[in-house]
Amino acid sequence: MEKHPNLSRIRIVLVEPQDGANIGSVCRAMKTMGITELAITGTKEYDENRVRTLALHAYDLYESHLRFENLQQALADTVLSVGASRRRGKNRKYFALLPEQLAQRIAQTGAGTVAIVFGREADGLTDAELALCHMGVRIPTSDAFPSLNLSQAVQIITYTLYRELAPSLGFTPIVETRLQEVAQTIGESFDKIHFYKQDEQSEVERFFRDILARATLSEKEAKRIEKMFIKMARLKVHKDIAEAGAPSGDEIENPME
C-alpha cells in the first residue's frame, strides 16, 4: 500500500518506556494509522515476547525501530518536534496544539522528519525534555479523570493525523456547479408534483444547495439523491395518469440501486 508522504515522515518517539507490552500496543496503534517509524530512547532491553503479544501483526515496527541514547539524539535530524503533554507550568510550553491543529502544522511544514514525542508511562516528559521540542500537543480530557495510558494517547493522535492528512480513498467531493445541478433537480422535481404555491422554486433550490454544501456530498451520494427526487416526481405523474385512466409507458427507476 502506498504511504501518504505526510504520514511516512512522522516518527513516534517513546522516551524510556517502562514495559514491552506498552511498546507493542503503540506499534499496533501506529500501524493501523499508516505510521511506521518508531524510535525509542534509553538503553533498557525489553522482553520481546511481551512486545509481540500486544503488537501482533505490527511487530515489524519494533523490529525496525530506531534506538537512541537520549531524546536530543532522537530529534537531531528532525525538522519539527512536538512533545505530547497535558501539564502546564512555568518551565513548560506556553501553549499546546490540539491534534487537529498539529495535522495542519505538519501539512504546512517543509520536507523532513516530524517527531511526536511521548513521555514515560508514570510521569510523562520532564521540563527539560519538553524544552527540546519545538511545540506541544495535548489531547482534551475530562478534568475529573484526565489520564490516558501511553498507547491510548498515541492512538488518538495518530488517528487524527491519519484522518486529516491521508487521502480520502473512494471519495469524490462534488464541485459547486454539480451542487447546483442537484439542487436544480430537486427544485424541478418539486415543481412536477405541484409543490409550489407561488414563485418559490429558486428559493427552494438555494435552500437545498446550502444544506447539501454543508453535507460535503460525494458524487455517488449526489446521484442517489437525484434519483430519489426524480422517482418522487415520476410517481406523482404516474399517479395522475392512472387516475385519469390513461396508460403509462415509463418505468420508474429504483433510486437505491
- The answer to whether residues 151 and 186 belong to one domain is no
Indicate the residue among 134, 165, 196 that finishes a domain.
165
Helices 201-215 and 219-244, axial angle in degrees (round to 10): 140
At CA 18, angle to CA 17 and CA 19, rounded to 5?
105
Residue 156 is predicted with a pLDDT of 97
Q: Give the integer Cα–Cα distance in Å for 135 and 80.
A: 8
In the predicted structure, residue 1 carries a pLDDT above the cut 50: no
**Are the C-beta atoms of 66 and 74 separated by less than 8 Å?**
yes
Helical spans, DSSP H, in the chain: 5-8, 20-32, 48-55, 59-63, 71-75, 99-108, 127-131, 150-165, 176-192, 201-215, 219-244
Q: For residue 181, with 0-12 CB atoms within 10 Å meaning exposed, 13-18 middle and 19 or more buried, which class applies? A: middle
- The answer to whether residues 152 and 209 belong to one domain is no
- 253 located within any domain: no
The model's pLDDT over 80-119, given as tens digits with 9 standing for 90+, comes to: 999 998 765 545 555 689 999 999 999 998 889 999 999 9
**Percentage of the chain modeled with pLDDT above 90:** 65
Which of 91-95, 174-178, 222-226 has the largest mean confidence?
222-226
- 171 located within any domain: no
Q: What is the mean pLDDT of residues 200-206?
A: 93
- The answer to whether residues 149 and 215 belong to one domain is no
Report the domain count for the chain.
Answer: 2
